[in-house]
Copies of this chain bind each other. A is one copy, B any other.
Amino acid sequence: MNPLFHELFQRTRFLNKEVNQTLKKHDLFASQWTVLFCIHQHTEMTLTEIWRYLNVEAPTITRTVSRLEELGWLITHEGKDRREKVVRLSVEAKDKFPEIEASIIEFENETLKGMSSEEQSLLMTLLKKLN
């Protein structure tokens, strides 16, 4: 067992936990935030667009989106194709968005504080080589 993989999995789990802590005050979980962020960027998206963009399977998005809708973060409506579901942020979600984003950015800066931007882009490059 290569320690690199172990480190990678462990670090990621740890960071995810930290993001959850950061988002706790906004009553959100990390993956919910990821979906919100992604929809915010695109204004409106179908479920298929979301899961293709985020590189996860369809049922994951079905679940997260319906939970977010239940909680009042999202509004869904039918697209022209009657099979597809189009999603956008609710007014309250749009209102709260900047503050949540600020928390996330602060967390990210804190986490990356020990790394120069050269190191950051190097890390990015190396991650992309894993495959």
Contacts and interface: CB of A to CB of B under 8 A. Distances in A.
Interface of A: 1-16, 34, 37, 54-56, 101, 104-105, 108, 111-112, 114-115, 119-120, 122-124, 126-131
B56 A128 contact: no
A14 B3 CA distance: 18
A4 B116 CA distance: 13
Nearest to A14: B55
Contacts of A111: 130-131
Nearest to A31: B9
Contact of A130 (B4, B9, B11, B122): B11
Contacts of A9: 12, 15-16
Contacts of A15: 5, 8-9, 130
Given A56-B13, A108-B2, A126 B126 contact: yes
Contacts of A55: 10, 13-14
Given A1-B108, A3-B124, A14-B55, 20 more contacts: A1-B37, A2-B108, A4-B112, A4-B127, A5-B15, A7-B128, A8-B12, A8-B127, A9-B15, A9-B16, A10-B54, A10-B55, A11-B127, A11-B128, A12-B12, A112-B130, A114-B131, A119-B126, A122-B126, A123-B126
